[in-house]
Amino acid sequence: MRIWYRGITYLFLMPLVDAPARLLPIRQSVAAKLPLEIIATIMAHLTYDPRSLKACTLTCFSWYIASAPHLHHTLPIRLGPLTLRFEFEWSVPFENYSKLGLLPFVKRLWVRRSTCPYLPVTPKQFNRILRQISTLTNIQHLSIDYLDIPSFMPKIRHYFGHFIPLVRSLGLGAPKGSTREILYFIGLFEHLEDLTLVRRAADYWRDELVGDLALVPPSTPPLRGRLVMSGFKRLGFLKDMIRLFGGIRFRYMDLYDVGETGLLLKACAKTLETVRLYPSDPCGE
């Protein structure tokens, strides 16, 4: 019997009592005879069922090939307490995926820090995994908490350049940087449609000033999908974003504790289809 699964496998040789190994017939699985189109349809229905996808990888090689992109669609990096070695904890998932050849399957990179936000994401962490990150060529959704944008300047394309062609959705949780630096980072992704900006009460750095006024985003992303903003009350940020990007065209908005909500609604008056507001919003009406 052949088992197709990427991981560490231990093989134990067991004697066959009934018949010599050379006399056993080799039978092809019925599942392996199905057309690839049907196998792909089956896997598409199991996209949100990891347990079933893992079972499919054990069926045969063709089923493994079809299920692997769905099973390894998202690479979650959950960074823990301050007591752990940040660089080691950050690099282990990338190294494991790289050894198994799974990084090209990843379409969503999700970096979350659950506690102790006193260690932002800087080039120091990226330098350890540059070789692995260069193989992440299919990332469409990029989400990073506590990204220290100024520390990546001016060589920011060296670290994020290979993400630019395909990223359609960007999430920034408590980004560090001036208004212009954050807008410059957003403007890197020329095909960006969805944007999430979240600010937390526990952030240890203060809101920085506008920054270098000569720093202009390198492109004007379409920004025509979904906008999620929470706790982002930096004055002038939305005004600069609308002006530098030549307007915004979001169709869906989820807003909470945003200081310039009216400006957003006015800018997207012609394209907005759905907006979600909260009665407990500190900014009131």
Residues in the chain: 285
Measure the CA dihedral 226/230/235/239, to 10°: 0
Kindly report which listed range (34-48, 113-127, 169-183, 199-213) carries the lowest average pLDDT score. 199-213
Residues 97 and 225 in one domain: yes
Q: How many domains does the chain have?
A: 2
Residues 271 and 242 in one domain: yes
Question: What domain range is 208 assigned to?
Answer: 76-276
Q: Which is higher by pLDDT, 2 or 276?
A: 276
Residues 56 and 103 in one domain: no
pLDDT at 16: 47
Residues 38 and 162 in one domain: no
pLDDT at 81: 55
Task: Look up tokens 């945003």; give the residue.
Answer: 258
DSSP string, 156-188: HHHHHGGGTTT--EEEEES-BS-HHHHHHHHHT
DSSP string, 23-57: GS-----TGGGS-HHHHHHHHHHTTT-HHHHHHHH
Over the stretch 51-66, which tens digit does the pLDDT of each residue have? 877 777 777 777 777 7
184, part of any domain: yes
Residues 52 and 128 in one domain: no
Last residue of a domain, one of 44, 71, 98: 71
Residues 179 and 221 in one domain: yes
* Averaged pLDDT, 170-179: 91
Residues 166 and 62 in one domain: no
Residues 137 and 203 in one domain: yes
Kindly state the tokens that stand for 88: 């080691």
Over the stretch 102-140, which tens digit does the pLDDT of each residue have? 888 888 998 887 655 567 888 888 887 888 888 888 899
* Averaged pLDDT, 21-48: 65
Residues 51 and 182 in one domain: no
139, part of any domain: yes
- Please state, in angstroms and rounded to a whole number, the distance separating the CA atoms of residues 171 and 272: 20
17, part of any domain: no
Enumerate the H helices of 100-155 as residue ranges: 123-128, 130-133
Cα–Cα separations (whole angstroms), residue 9 to 51, 54, 99, 169: 19, 15, 14, 36
- Percent of the chain past pLDDT 70, that is, above it, reads 77
Measure the CA dihedral 223/227/230/235, to 10°: 40
Residues 64 and 136 in one domain: no
185, part of any domain: yes
pLDDT at 19: 47
122, part of any domain: yes
204, part of any domain: yes
